[in-house]
Amino acid sequence: MPFPASRCWGRGAEFFPRMDKKRILASAVVFLILAILIYLQYRHWRTFDWGTFWSQTHRIKKLHVLHGIALIYLAYIVRAVRWKIFLKPVRPKTTIAELVSPTLVGFAGLALLGRAGEFIRPYLIARRTGLPFSSQLAVWAVERIFDLGAFAFLIALAIFLPSALPSIPHPEYYKSFREASFLLIAAVAATAVAAVVIRRNVEGAAGWVEQRFSHLSSNLGHKMAQKVREFGMGLNTIHGPLSMLWLSAVSVGMWYMIALAYQEVTHSYGTDALAIPVSQLYILIFGSMVGSMLQLPAVGGGSQMATIAILSSVFDVSPEMAASCGILLWLVTFAAVIPLGLVLAHHERLSLRKLSAESHQAEGNTISD
């Protein structure tokens, strides 16, 4: 007789949500796409040597991997610092220590549940600080803009530094990377302009969005207008140029730490092929971000596939080493938070499954209000 997850691992490990039809369909589609990608990769790598794969994996320098994990955990602490800056106008006495646990538990939920766990972090912070969930959902939305902006800033530096992207092993890819980076920078600039417009007139912007999309579906127009209002609420947490400067600096520093973690993992193999400078690793990070759109809960898939393909095609890394490094990068930068996140969830008697359901229900109530 199989045991429930709660009996095997404790309350913190109740991370498998009840699957509704939409989630089952979405997971099936993602699985099918990933299966096709894996098959195409297999056809391309018919000479893949599993013996070499395991040999390369066992030869990694574990100290570098531990350094990478430490940097990722430090980046989570920096995320907590950034959230404290957002909370300063309304909860100035909130400490960083109070925000670290919800951050780690939230990212563990995201790693285990996929998109079903994305609201756990703002939901836990709202409960801990006694603030409305809608206000922390707004902070979460604005936080993403700072993430995108910080990453675009670092990508821009990599584009224009002569020793960065132009010196990749296959310079013919540089033009494509530069164009993709310019699109990202343009998207960030457009978002910044939209943020200024929304902050100056939230209700006017929300009304325009609702009217614009109500002909497709009145419910869609209402939902999008509510998202605009939430985003405007989040923008109100930025008080003055000094706050903006701190948030930007913290965001850039955090993403640089993530890039250093990538470098620790790639350098752990001790080969020239993976001695990739930090400025070029932003290509891997960008690929991983795009690939994460096709993720299976607790398994990943898209992120690893994108990373492996870039290592092999752009940096001339052998298929076996690229596969090993791609999987290790996912484990260090995405899945390493799971053990401590589950320990903290168990200690605080939290169920990730219940938190996921409650946070999505609260988000639905926010939209319907």
pLDDT tens for 96-155 read 999 999 999 999 999 888 878 889 999 999 999 998 888 888 889 889 889 989 998 888
Neighbours of 239 (CB within 10 A): 12
> Which residues, 6 or more positions from 309, have their beta carbon under 8 angstroms from its beta carbon?
41, 287, 322
What's the predicted TM-score (pTM) here? Answer: 0.79
Average pLDDT estimate for 241-268? 93
Measure CA of the first residue to CA of the last residue in the chain; give whole Å.
Answer: 44
Say how far apart CA 68 and CA 259 lie, in whole Å. Answer: 9
pLDDT tens per residue across span 11-42: 444 444 444 565 666 556 655 655 665 555 55
DSSP code of residue 19: P
Q: Which of 67-76, 175-184, 254-263, 333-342 has the lowest mean pLDDT?
A: 175-184
Residue 72 has pLDDT above 50, yes or no: yes
Say how far apart CA 265 and CA 28 lie, in whole Å. Answer: 31
How many residues are given for the chain?
369
The answer to whether 307 touches 288, Cβ cutoff 8 Å, is yes
What mean pLDDT is reported for the chain? 80
Residue % of the chain over a pLDDT of 70: 76
Question: For residue 305, what pLDDT is reported?
Answer: 78
Task: Return the residue matching tokens 């095609």.
Answer: 313
Say how far apart CA 301 and CA 365 lie, in whole Å. Answer: 32
Residue 83 has pLDDT above 90, yes or no: yes
The answer to whether 299 touches 15, Cβ cutoff 8 Å, is no
Residue type, 223: K
Question: For residue 46, what pLDDT is reported?
Answer: 57
Identify each DSSP E strand in the chain by its residue range: 295-296, 300-301
Residue type, 36: I
Residue 162 has pLDDT above 90, yes or no: no
Query: Model confidence at 47, in pLDDT bands (50, 70, 90)?
Result: low
Residue 234 vs residue 300, higher pLDDT = 234
Average pLDDT estimate for 193-212? 79
- The closest of 146, 160, 10, 6 to 83, measured between CA atoms, is 146
CA 57 to chain centre: 25
Neighbours of 81 (CB within 10 A): 17
What are 295's strand-pairing partners? 301
Q: Which of 62-76, 185-199, 291-305, 354-368 has the lowest mean pLDDT?
A: 291-305
Say how far apart CA 305 and CA 321 lie, in whole Å. Answer: 13
Question: For residue 247, what pLDDT is reported?
Answer: 92
What are 296's strand-pairing partners? 300
